Amino acid sequence: MGEKDMSEKILEDYNDVFSDIVNVLLFHGQELIEPSALESISVHSQYKGEDAKLHEQERDVAKKWKRYNVQLAIIGIENQTAVEKKMPFRLIGYDGASYKSQLQANAASIAPVVTIVLYFGEKHWCKERNIKSLMNIPKELDPYVNDYKMEVFEIAWLTDEQLEMFKSDFKVVARFFVNKRRNPDYVADDPTEIQHVDEVLKLLSVMTGDRDYEKVICDEMKGQVKSM
């Protein structure tokens, strides 16, 4: 597992960060999901390949959204620093595994599964976002082939209005990528108070290759960070 991938996962696994990302990107800033309503679930699943052997797949971060002990949905986040042509197929595999696990658990009702992609590249996502566009389907079969569309959010291209909606440490991360895209020489100087200091600084460090982000002085007040 890459260092970038791990750093992204660690930060997003915090319920306050996860809920903030979903509330802003899916619900346009409405605080529909509270951190306390989230419960982490396994990110590992198995499938039998064409070689008849069991293979394991791992998604980045996934959580149950619950209200009054009732499961409303399973929400997953996948991180990409580069465009992946066949990403929709990977996502449908993750979502299918989540539905299958609910069936195997004999759930009284099946909760919907939603997976979003956070893309951190500086250029726009240039590949297809649904599976039908990646297949050569005979026109006679096309009406019967179910499609699957993935939701990709280009973090470096978020608007200033969207950035202001974030209330967690993800605001610092998102603002960094937006500013870096606008100005390649940008050096993080965000005055926003950080809650998960170590995780944010490590993420910026591995994303930029600049280890100076790891060399910081923390004031006695939590979240007051100064660069050396």
Taking the domains of the chain in order of start, what are their residue ranges?
3-188
Query: What pLDDT, on the 0 to 100 scale, is given for residue 188?
Result: 74
Does residue 10 contact residue 199 with C-beta atoms inside 8 Å?
yes
Output the DSSP codes for 181-214. HH-TT------S--SSHHHHHHHHHHHHT-GGGG
Distance (Å, whole) CA 71 – CA 96: 17
Judge whether residue 222 has pLDDT over 70: no
Residue 157 tokens, joined:
């291209």
Examine the pLDDT at 130 and tell me if it is beyond 70.
yes
DSSP, res 36: G
Q: pLDDT at position 32, please?
A: 97
pLDDT at residue number 213: 61
Token digits of residue 61: 């971060």
Q: How far, CA to CA in Å, does 114 sit from each of 18, 120, 127, 150, 163?
A: 13, 20, 20, 9, 22
pLDDT in tens, 12-39: 999 999 999 999 999 999 999 999 999 9
pLDDT at 40 over 70: yes
Residues 113-136 have a mean pLDDT of 96
56 confidence band (pLDDT: 50, 70, 90): low
